[in-house]
Amino acid sequence: MKVRNIIFAVLAAALSLGCQKEDYVWVKTGIDRAQHQLMLTAAEIDETGMMPRSIWVGYDLDMLSKQLEKDKEVFKDSLRAQPAAELLGTRRLCGIYDWTSGFFPGSLWYVYELTGDESVKEQAARFTEKLNPVREYTGTHDLGFMINCSYGNALRLSPADTIPAVMIQTADNLCSRFDENIGCIRSWDFGTWNFPVIIDNMMNLDLLFNASRLSGNPYYREIALKHADKTMPNHFREDHTSWHVVSYNNDGTVESKQTFQGKNDDSAWSRGQAWGLYGYTAVYRETSDRKYLDFAQAIADMFIERTTTEDGIPYWDFDAPAGEDTPRDASAAAVAACGMLELSTMAENGEKYFNQAEKILKSLSSDAYLAAPGENQGFVLMHSTGSLAHGSEIDVPLNYADYYYLEGLQRYMGLKGIEYKNL
């Protein structure tokens, strides 16, 4: 009987291990597919001096009218020009000063971290170095995206004495956009707004937190917290959905509130909600101040409640008319998944956030969103939406969707104790 019990125990353990391995096939598929796509892209664009951003697509006015629930005559003047016919379906590249330029090298760094493949590391370093001139740039609030996602990951995974100087100089340039009277970092330098601040700017605060650690100077951290504290009461509604753009008067009072890339000013543009979720989770990580944790949880709860799709990938705007033809936004899902995974380690009911993030990552790793090898112009994920309200990047791959998908896989594997070599 004792022998029999031992045999049963061994068989049960073997079956358990087999099932466990099978459970994570989707993780390996996602990583392997990403490595293939990104290395293919790196080889094809290496000599261009550019970064991959998306795929060129056009738009249909009737579809936009239906999604925005507006007569086309009302919004047609705000639409971007349709791409030339010969561009349609081709890879959309961008220069190093584009706000998305840091995501491709950052994605390569994540693939290197996940696989340990030295050839990927080599490409990650090459494309990161291309961004070195950005350290002199002051013309955008997106310096955090551009430098923290590239050089920041390089510092983690391949430290070099030259990297901290790049990040600190860039942080100085980001801080030059901070206005003490207003209490925020200025976002855009275009348009008729007096001092526009977009919810995306919460994502650039990590660069400032890192700069304080690297320099020993609390100045960068102080500015980050002032920005977060000003944004909290002004950018969010009572239900914890956020406006996209809040413009301030010079005395710090609110000039206007809009949702520039959403369905309308009062709608909940899904990626904006994800930016806020991720951003305030990061601020809590850096401060341990309970008010930020409570706020991040409230945003996460709203995000989960407002996501009505079966696969957990939200529509481009939570208030868009839901239907089979309504564009999804894989980028919003990926950003939210990253925020929820980190939040799951902080909140008392963390399992709720972990489970939702896992659902999102499994969906993104399915054939419905994960591109086939060699397809999708070398991008990893399909079905993101950039700015539908402007007819731009609708139902396309986006480099930041790929980046946060890979960050999500990295966070997930860390929490589950999974190593690539064992998949």
User: Smallest Cα–Cα separation from 285: which of 200, 184, 209?
Assistant: 209
Print burial letters for 323-352: b (CB count within 10 Å at least 16), e (below 16).
eeebbbbbbbbbbbbbbbbbbbebbeebeb
Classify residue 271 as left (phi > 0), alpha (psi -120 to 50) or beta: alpha
Catalytic annotation on 301?
no
Pairing of strands 196-198, 245-248: antiparallel
CA 44 – CA 379 distance, rounded (Å)? 12
347: amino acid identity, one letter? A
- Tell me the three state secondary structure of residue 221: helix
The token duo for 39 is 């290395």
Q: For 94, phi and psi rounded to 5 degrees? A: -140, 160
User: Smallest Cα–Cα separation from 318: which of 360, 274, 268, 387?
Assistant: 268
Catalytic annotation on 142?
yes
Q: Which of 117, 189, 200, 251 is catalytic?
A: 200
- Tell me the three state secondary structure of residue 311: coil
DSSP 65-91: HHHHTS-HHHHGGGSPPPPPGGGTTSE
Answer whether 336's CB lies under 8 Å from 342's CB: no
The token duo for 68 is 């925005």
How many other CB atoms are found less than 10 A from the CB of residue 307? Answer: 22
The token duo for 190 is 């275009």
User: Smallest Cα–Cα separation from 313: which of 339, 331, 340, 338?
Assistant: 331
Q: Which of 32, 60, 77, 142 is catalytic?
A: 142
The residues near 107 (Cβ < 8 Å, ≥ 6 apart) are 34, 38, 380, 399, 402, 403, 406
Q: Helices 103-115 and 399-416: crossing angle, nearest 10°? A: 30
Active site residues: 142, 200
